[in-house]
Amino acid sequence: MRASVIRPVFGAAFVALLIGLPRPASTHNPDRLWQIVDGQCRVAHDRTGQPTPCTVYDADRGYAVLKDIEGRGQYLLIPTARTSGIEAEPLLAAHTPNYFALAWAQRARVGEAYGVMLPDDDLALAINSAQGRTQNQLHIHLDCIRPEIKTALFFMRRAIGRAWTPLPTPLAGHAYRAIRMDGTSFDNVWPFRVLAASLPDAAHDMGRHTLVVVPENFPEGRGFVVLDDVVDPLHHDFASGEELQDHDCRIIPMDLRVRTR
């Protein structure tokens, strides 16, 4: 869920500039997601065993899955514990679930919504920055990748190594950096920790970043590309990695591997 305003990051002058900016109507209740998950899905699950309106409510593993109102196949992975967003300190703790792994385990739902089986590399996971979101409950977007983004990453994949590297070409007009993770599962892929380890002051800097995880077929084998962008107010960049997803899933008719269920 992308926001159309940003929070100040460059001191008093910038604070003064932003005070007069109106917030969009869609952000009038930044706690709406939490109210749905905890006030509706949890209550319904406890009373009836059905987590309506959520698709999944797993109290033991600490997550819920909710169909987003935008897009036919977009789903959100949401913690069942109050967790503000990418900046939340518990995300780096050893006991915290790997929410990206839990979201990835739900990936078949995107294709099911369209009546097809989607190859993994037609999908993407994304979490927006604190400045680029409208809700103050952590949620990971699961949906199709934009076809042009998939193509761009394919041609840049040889430039993506096992250390953070700026991409040679912008994505959606923004300067992302990338790192490669090998394998087909998230067993050794903890995106929040990977990002935090690269920041000089993760406790204060995480909230200004966005993360996107995309499967990729590298020449040496399959893996994931982890993408990061950082808020840049001067260039109107709110670090909303969701921008790399396509909530209309235009890739379906373009990919000859897609099969009808």
SS3 at position 59 = coil
Q: Which residue has the higher pLDDT, 245 or 3?
A: 245
Structure-block tokens of residue 93: 């703790």
Domains recognised in the chain with CATH numbers: 31-260 (3.30.428.30)
- What does the alpha-carbon distance between residue 215 and residue 241 come to, in Å, rounded to a whole number? 15
- What does the alpha-carbon distance between residue 46 and residue 50 come to, in Å, rounded to a whole number? 8
> What is the per-residue pLDDT across 57-84, written as a single tens digit (0 to 9) for each?
999 999 999 999 999 999 999 999 999 9
* Stated length of the chain: 261
pLDDT score for 188: 82
Q: What's the pLDDT band for 1 if we cut at 50, 70, 90?
A: low
pLDDT tops 90 at residue 124: yes
- What does the alpha-carbon distance between residue 149 and residue 136 come to, in Å, rounded to a whole number? 27
- What does the alpha-carbon distance between residue 80 and residue 174 come to, in Å, rounded to a whole number? 32
Q: pTM for the full model?
A: 0.89
SS3 at position 167 = coil
Percent of the chain with pLDDT over 70: 90
